Amino acid sequence: MDIFQKLKDFYWPHRRYFIISIVFLFLLTGITVVYPVILQLTIDEVILEGRYSLVPYLALGFVAIMAIKGVATYISQYNGDIFGIISVYDLRNKLYTKLQRLPFQYYDNAKTGDLMSRLTADVEMFRFFLSFGFAELIRLVLLLLVTISVMAYYSIPLTLVTLCTIPFLAVAVYQFDKKVHPAFRKVRKSFGQLNTNVQENISGINTVKSLSREEHQIGKFNDSNGDYKDKYIMTAGIWAKYFPLMEFLGNASVVLLLGYGGTLVVNGSLTPGELTAFYSLVGFIIWPIMNLGFTINQFSQSKASGERLLEILEANEAISDKENAIPLLSGKGDVVFDNVTLQYTSEDEKALDQVSFKVDNGKTIGLIGATGSGKTSVTQLMTRFYEATEGNVLINEVDVRDYTLSSLRKNIGFVLQESFLFSSTIKANIAYGRPDVSLEKVQEAAKRAQAHDFIMELPNGYDTMLGERGLGLSGGQKQRIAIARAICLDPSILILDDATSAVDMQTEINIQKALSEVMKGRTTFIIAHRISSLKHADEILVFENGKITNRGTHDSLIHEQGQYQRIFNIQYKDQKKVLQPQPEAR
Amino acid sequence: MKTQEQKNQVMNRFQYSTDQVIEKPFNWMQLWRLLRYLKPYSKKLLPLSILMVLITTAIRLVIPIIIGIYVIGDAIENGNSNWLMTLVGLVAAMYLVNYAANIFRIKWMNILGQSVIYDLRKHLFTHVQWLSNRFFDQRSAGSILVRIMNDINSLQELFTNGVINLLMDALMLIGIFIILFTISPELALAVMVILPVMFLLSTKLRRQIRRSWQTVRLKQSKLNSHLNESLQGMRVTQSFTQEDENAQFFNGVNTENFESWREATKKNATFRPLVEMTNAVGSAILIWYGASLIQADKLALGELVTFAFLLGMFWEPISRLGMVYNQLLMGMASSERIFEFLDEQPNVAENKNAKTIKQIQGDITFEKVDFSYSNDRKALDSVSLDIKAGETIALVGHTGSGKTTIANMITRFYDPTGGKIKMDGHDLRDISLRSLRSQISIVLQDTFIFSGTIKDNIRFGHPHATDEQIMDASKAVGADGFIKKLPNGYDTEVEERGNILSVGERQLISFARALLADPRIIILDEATASIDTETEVQIQQALTTLLKGRTAIIIAHRLSTIRDADRIYVLDHGRLMEYGNHHELMLQNGIYHKLVQSQFAMLEAL
């Protein structure tokens, strides 16, 4: 119950709905047993005694009572549902807000699929339990109590005889439940496998077709498809074994009732009406007991779901505003790294190892080095996506930790390695950081990023929808939109993390020219693998294993022995060769 | 007014199209086509299942008669203990038979349903697998996946329970009618007043309820789409500090979801009370009129009890018939989508007399080839190429100039709309697709890595390759080094899209894959992706190994590749503008020369 205690904030404020639901639940369960009683009265009092004048009262009374029951059912069910829905509404909002605040570090370790299943399946499980689980448990106990009391009122020995199959039924239910859940899990897993299989096949269809591996893929699919079928049939085998058994045990009660009850009637110690009433009452008990396993299972599952949700809600928001944090004002971008060391987790090697550099406002800095050498880490410390393990990062002479996060990030335009675009129009994507910006500003940014021309060629121009159902753009086009998105922020510091890898060389050069114009008086960081992308930088920092190994301008670095010179030689071999007018001897 | 506008702006921040038709009008042709999938099982499984259904239905109909008329109305009323015990024994025996029949009914019906679903899914997948590239170009991967998985699944219930339950329920209803009318026509008529109401509830009201649940589902899928996207784009959101704006949007979607749910639950909660009320009215009629019939000596007590039992059994079949009807309507929408795919024909079909060529040499000729993807624009305009076996050819031009189209035509992903393509002197259309494609490898820009081990991924090109062959191929292209450094070497599991591998590493794997496939012709789509320089050098070296002794067609970006090609074809808007080797073209002072010059001029200008 600890879990539910912790999640109390979400459902306790709405307890009114729950209480109403339960009160009416009591009422309607009480009324449920009226039908058998009326049946008994009709047979014993009216027909056998011949008091037919009572009939209209009985019939109308019955309809009236059932009408009351109908209203009670409606109120109870509706309020119970609302209790679950409204609690989950609060929970979802809270989860979403929380997820927005969790740091990069959290997402480095979390898988989208896992988070999604928590946000969908676990939330749903929690709702289901609030709406039905609680109430169902209460209803079950109540129904059993009332039904058995009425039965006992008629005849205690008959009640005992009739219900003697119940323990067997309970065992069968327990066994069934124990077996069916793992089986279902296997079915779901197998379905997931089949799904992955098909998805991969379609996503990789070009590869499949280019190597003509269709038959192989069909074979692989058939295996998964067959496995799913087998698992399903196996699960159905469990139903086939237990459902008929449970039904039979229920029916056995009826047989016992008829045999013993019939004898009692013949003896005269039971009336025919009471026997008939018994027959109906038995029906009320059997079904809830079959359902018992399901309800109990719901309870334990919803507990596990609640636990997984709490994990998100209680995750550590490691990076947040300090007290008395000040806003970073726009217009200027001096950056200083003072002996900065970064270690993502204590098991990892140092991503940055005592890095120091100073950048004056308005300069362009190039960062180069192999994958994993620390280039990206440097830029992510400026925006405080991560925090330095040692040393200080200063912007405009103030430690970044003293700024408010929002002002810091609003002043730094970041073009991330993967250019993720949202399901929205191109215009909204470019204006993502400043939703209120005018179309002119958006177009201006797009022009600078060399994206305007291809956007205008699209059927709906800037109103073209992107995203999962929308238009597919090429890698280079996506990158250009991502660049426009950063320019549109009008930032003091612009960071391009390998942002032009998929655009052709000529476009890249155009982008750079445009950028040097926009970024006049502001600071730019460029991470790239191609020398041509960094050549014009005021200073180039060469990274190797988290350290800066060389630094200087392009002209100075090509004369210095080291990684930069090596990269230059490899990349510019091409140029020399191509421009040579004479073909080499073969 | 202003706030409404702002609200609209917030809600238009992201757009997810989730509107899809979930229900279609009934269509006999389509149903017939679906039911034909039952045919393979019409000899054994289907009749056996039906037999079991008949047995259980019969028992369920007979038992109320025995209990009502004979046990209560005769044995008990007349105090005949022996007769009572005989009857009770009979009932017990019938329940036992019912028990056994139920076991087989559930088992066989599930096997039947799953087998049909298996067949249908297999048929669809196999069909789709052989469709042409154009089919896949025009659709998103998600929309194809949804048909193979979800649309077929939505037919599962219909085939497992729906069809057979339809029979069972119809029989049950007819049986109840017959019994009721045999016992007492007047009372039967009186009680059946409630039937139309029940039918109405089961179809009309239920349909309305289901519609509002559909609205809930759509809202929920919008909510989930956004959640998924917002998780994937979280880094962008945080770097652009849009957390609060997104939370506002989410709040809106969440509220919509809540409202739709409330509407649905409001309707849903009326269902059970209304059904019970109808039943209550039926019972009241039974009591009232039944009692008066007994009083008039037109009905026996036992008969009244039987009536009461059977009246209670009315609702179940009616309710289920309503459900099956709804399933059918939903099944119509799904099956329409499935059949749409099944009716799709591959646009390059195998020629009837196509011959298998064991060993292609690799001479390729294009004779005035025309091609257009759609009718408006020519992707290739009278292109003639002559490629000799063993040559390396570079295709140069801007995006949309026709480079990729040429590659697609060589593998016969498309057929030319005019002109001819010949391979070793045979028209491409006369060669069996399998023998053609199995000897051509395409190394794509974006290498697809399947989930499985590295070894499996390399083996993909040649399923019977031994481990040694795989390692040899990897060594030859220089992939061996990084593979060995992975936690489990060649047995390291990689996920879809190969998350643990860098772009360059994926490229090397695809080279090894291609080398292992040992094709006669290689088509290479050179990537301009973010590969660090050291890796790029490795790739260049691997390329030399890979291309040795094969015909190679390279869609080229790197100048070194272009320069080393035996021949360069320069394309512009689907036309062949110039060709020759680097030296010849540079001397020609044409487009190519300008292209090379301008690139360097730009570079120097910075």
- Asked if A416 has any chain B CB less than 8 Å from its own CB, the reply is yes
Give the mean model confidence (pLDDT) for residues B331-357: 84
Asked if A333 and A493 count as a contact pair (C-beta separation under 8 A), the reply is yes
Domain boundary among B289, B319, B347: B347
Chain center to CA of A184: 22
Cβ-based contacts under 8 A for chains A and B: 418
- Asked if A556 has any chain B CB less than 8 Å from its own CB, the reply is no
Residues of B in contact with A217 (CB under 8 A): 129
The type of residue at B352 is K
The answer to whether residue B534 sits within a structural domain is no
In chain A, the percentage of residues whose pLDDT exceeds 70 is 96
* Interchain CB distance below 8 Å, A99 and B234: yes
Rounded to two decimals, the pTM is: 0.80
Could you give the CA distance from residue A201 to residue A207 in angstroms, rounded to a whole number? 9
Could you give the CA distance from residue A571 to residue A537 in angstroms, rounded to a whole number? 18
pLDDT of residue B241: 84
Average pLDDT over chain B reads 84
Residues B35 and B173 grouped into a single domain: yes
Chain center to CA of A425: 24
Could you give the CA distance from residue B102 to residue B479 in angstroms, rounded to a whole number? 60
pLDDT of residue B497: 47
The answer to whether residue B338 sits within a structural domain is yes
Nearest chain B residue to A41, by CA: B287
Residues B177 and B34 grouped into a single domain: yes
State the sign of the Cα–Cα–Cα–Cα dihedral A260, A263, A267, A269: positive
Residues B146 and B269 grouped into a single domain: no
Residues B206 and B113 grouped into a single domain: no
Nearest chain B residue to A242, by CA: B103
- Asked if A205 has any chain B CB less than 8 Å from its own CB, the reply is yes
Q: pLDDT tier at A585 (50, 70, 90 boundaries)?
A: very low
Residues B37 and B138 grouped into a single domain: yes
Asked if B76 and A43 count as a contact pair (C-beta separation under 8 A), the reply is no
Could you give the CA distance from residue A408 to residue A413 in angstroms, rounded to a whole number? 10
- Asked if A59 has any chain B CB less than 8 Å from its own CB, the reply is yes
Residues B291 and B276 grouped into a single domain: yes
* Interchain CB distance below 8 Å, B411 and A239: no
Examine the pLDDT at B400 and tell me if it is beyond 80. no
- Asked if B91 has any chain A CB less than 8 Å from its own CB, the reply is yes
Examine the pLDDT at B223 and tell me if it is beyond 50. yes
The answer to whether residue B215 sits within a structural domain is yes
pLDDT of residue A469: 47
Asked if B382 and B373 count as a contact pair (C-beta separation under 8 A), the reply is no
Could you give the CA distance from residue A415 to residue A499 in angstroms, rounded to a whole number? 6
pLDDT of residue B499: 57
Range of weakest confidence among A166-170, B132-136, B357-361, B428-432:
B132-136
Residues of B in contact with A409 (CB under 8 A): 238-241
Residues B246 and B265 grouped into a single domain: yes
Q: pLDDT tier at A341 (50, 70, 90 boundaries)?
A: very high
Asked if B235 and B316 count as a contact pair (C-beta separation under 8 A), the reply is no
| Mutate: best of A69, A106, A188, A207, partner B, most B CBs <10 A | A207
- Asked if A471 has any chain B CB less than 8 Å from its own CB, the reply is no
Of A143, A328, A212, A121, nearest in space to B413 by CA: A212
Helices B243-295, B206-232: inter-axial angle, 10-degree rounding? 160
Kindly report the CA angle at B277 between B275 and B283, in degrees rounded to 5? 105
Nearest chain B residue to A267, by CA: B79
The answer to whether residue B108 sits within a structural domain is yes
The answer to whether residue B38 sits within a structural domain is yes
Range of weakest confidence among A101-105, A344-348, A354-358, B7-11:
B7-11
Residues of B in contact with A70 (CB under 8 A): 273-274, 276-277
Examine the pLDDT at B19 and tell me if it is beyond 70. no
The answer to whether residue B380 sits within a structural domain is no
Could you give the CA distance from residue B571 to residue B553 in angstroms, rounded to a whole number? 14
| Mutate: best of B240, B391, B399, B586, partner A, most A CBs <10 A | B240
Range of weakest confidence among A155-159, B327-331, B572-576:
B327-331
pLDDT of residue A192: 84
Work out whether strand B440-443 and strand B521-525 pair parallel, antiparallel, or are unpaired.
Answer: parallel
A406-443 residue pLDDT tens: 889 889 988 887 778 888 889 999 999 888 889 999 99
State the sign of the Cα–Cα–Cα–Cα dihedral A21, A22, A26, A29: positive
Residues B269 and B162 grouped into a single domain: no
Domain total of chain B? 2
Examine the pLDDT at A273 and tell me if it is beyond 90. no
Q: What are phi and psi of A49, to 5 degrees?
A: -90, -15
A197-216 residue pLDDT tens: 888 888 788 778 777 788 88
Q: Coil, helix or strand for A421?
A: coil
The B426-427 sheet, strands edge to edge = B380-387, B364-371, B418-423, B426-427
Could you give the CA distance from residue A245 to residue A251 in angstroms, rounded to a whole number? 10
Examine the pLDDT at A93 and tell me if it is beyond 90. yes
Residues B223 and B265 grouped into a single domain: yes
The answer to whether residue B576 sits within a structural domain is no
Residues of A in contact with B433 (CB under 8 A): 212
Q: What is the ipTM of this complex?
A: 0.84
Could you give the CA distance from residue B325 to residue B312 in angstroms, rounded to a whole number? 22
Residues B158 and B62 grouped into a single domain: yes
Could you tell me the two tokens for A87? 């609690």
pLDDT of residue B528: 54
Q: Pick the residue with more confidence: A445 or A325?
A: A445
**Domain extent for B127:** 28-183+330-347
A498-552 residue pLDDT tens: 887 777 767 777 888 888 888 888 899 999 887 878 888 899 999 988 899 989 9
* Interchain CB distance below 8 Å, A577 and B254: no
Task: Please give, rounded to a whole number of angstroms, the shortest distance from the CA of B546 to a CA of chain A.
Answer: 16
* Interchain CB distance below 8 Å, A52 and B281: no
* Interchain CB distance below 8 Å, B606 and A55: no
User: Which residues contact residue A537 at a Cβ distance below 8 angstroms, ignoring those fewer than 6 apart?
Assistant: A364, A365, A366, A526, A553, A554
pLDDT of residue A570: 76
CATH number at residue B166: 1.20.1560.10
For A200, the closest of B104, B438, B450 (CB atoms) is B450
pLDDT of residue A577: 58
Nearest chain A residue to B523, by CA: A210
Q: Which of A31-35, A131-135, B261-265 has the highest mean pLDDT?
A: B261-265
B580-604 residue pLDDT tens: 988 888 888 888 888 777 666 655 5
Quote the strand ranges of A396-459, DSSP E: 398-399, 412-415
Residues B174 and B201 grouped into a single domain: no
Task: Please give, rounded to a whole number of angstroms, the shortest distance from the CA of A297 to a CA of chain B.
Answer: 23
Residues B209 and B170 grouped into a single domain: no
Nearest chain B residue to A491, by CA: B240
Residues of A in contact with B374 (CB under 8 A): none
- Asked if B86 has any chain A CB less than 8 Å from its own CB, the reply is no
| Mutate: best of A211, A213, A457, partner B, most B CBs <10 A | A211
Could you give the CA distance from residue A382 to residue B388 in angstroms, rounded to a whole number? 56
Could you give the CA distance from residue B15 to residue A460 in angstroms, rounded to a whole number? 15
Give the mean model confidence (pLDDT) for residues B292-309: 87
The answer to whether residue B400 sits within a structural domain is no
Examine the pLDDT at A309 and tell me if it is beyond 80. yes
Q: Pick the residue with more confidence: B99 or B78?
A: B99
- Asked if B588 has any chain A CB less than 8 Å from its own CB, the reply is no
* Interchain CB distance below 8 Å, A212 and B261: no
pLDDT of residue B18: 57
Examine the pLDDT at B98 and tell me if it is beyond 90. yes
